[in-house]
Chains A and B, each alone.
Chain A
Amino acid sequence: MTASSLPISPEASNYDEVSMQQSLMFSDSLKDLKNLRGQLYSAAEYFELSYTNDDQKQIVVETLKDYAVKAIVNTVDHLGSVTYKVNNLLDEKADEISRTELRISCIEQRIRTCLQYIDHEGSSQQSLIINTPKFHKRYILPVGETMRGSDGTKLKYQGSFIDNVDDWYQFRKAVRATIKETPPPVSKGRPPGQSARPPQRSATFSFTSTMPKKDLDKRTVSPHRFPLLRSGSVTNRSVTPMASRPTTPNTSRPTNPSPSLAGRRYPSEPKKSASMRFHAEGENAKDAEQNPSKSKRLLKALLSRRKSRKDETLYRYLDEY
């Protein structure tokens, strides 16, 4: 058989042809190794007959020895070739499996990356949906006051220690009336009906309104940002039976006559009252120490102002302050 008559050329570039050629050669080697057994058996029978029938036994024995040696060498060659091909085939398969493992690992890594990306995108989308409310730290809401958050939820400030809404409302209304309406001052010698207030008083109460914004910001960060901390008498009123009422505002009764301005006016008013209170306390510290009952009477007057707006008792006590 010549090289040109071979169906598979040795320079086969295609991988399938090379592998097919190797498999054919491997199968031929296995067939030769399998036929070697029958050849050895037939040779043994031939030499046995020759040794018994032929007279030249020495020649038969020498021929048998040569044939046995050649048969063993041929068998070793065949076994060596077959084992080499088997080892080579196993190594190729092992390498192929290793490459397949690497490819599968790459695919798993890609899938894991895709899953992580999907999880990250989902979490980012969910985090964008949630709008966390942001409030300025200057906004101090009294108890029961509600305001709309950025997400539309009602938020209520419960940090103040005046639990009673009505008390707070009366107190704030009375103080606002004393500050903004600038009621006529009444001297000690005048009757309570007359309204002639000295200009020093009005200047004192309008101090916070004309105060620059810088000072206002400083006051917001001061520890006295809760203006009602000093009003111990008002605080003590929270333990009265009136305090047992619910702190949430009654929706049927608005807390401000103008609801549109509620969100703007309420946070700033406690600071004004606090400024007024601090200033007044600084001036009348001695008077307050000498007359501790004056503050109680003042608060009672302020609270009773709800019943009659023309109660001049308030002005009288304010003048005494």
Chain B
Amino acid sequence: MARAGGITNAVNVGIAVQADWENREFISHISLNVRRLFDFLVQFEATTKSKLAALNEKLDILERRLELLEVQVSTASANPSLFNT
């Protein structure tokens, strides 16, 4: 009887250890996918920041060019004699 009870305990312990390893494996997979997702978010943030910076620079250049054009047009509008030739 005692030998049979010892074998049952050993089997239970083995089943528990296997379940524990399966749970650890599942958690490792979950953590790995979460890290990949985190890396993707970091990369996406960097890419988006660079794109936004490029767009901001282009917008600044466009703003300056538009201001220059506005000044030129206002100057030309202030001197209508240039267009009366």
Which residues of chain A have a CB within 8 Å of any CB of chain B?
Answer: 61, 65, 68-69, 72, 75-76, 79, 83, 86-87, 90, 93-94, 97, 100-101, 104, 107-108, 111, 114, 118, 121-122, 125
Contacts and interface: CB of A to CB of B under 8 A. Distances in A.
Contacts of A114: 76
A118 B58 CA distance: 31
Query: Looking at chain A's contact residues, is the secondary structure mostly helix, strand, loop, or mixed?
Result: helix
A75 B55 contact: no
A76 B37 contact: yes
A79 B40 CA distance: 9
B62 A101 contact: yes
A104 B62 contact: yes
Contacts of B65: 104, 108
A72 B41 contact: no
Interface residues on B, range: 20 to 34
A86 B49 CA distance: 11
A90 B62 CA distance: 17
B48 A90 contact: yes
A5 to B, nearest CB: 34
A121 to B, nearest CB: 6
Interface in B14-44: 23, 26, 30, 33-34, 37, 40-41, 44
Contact of A111 (B34, B54, B72): B72
A68 B33 CA distance: 11
Nearest to A86: B48
A72 B44 contact: no
A125 B76 CA distance: 20
Contact of B69 (A79, A87, A104, A118): A104
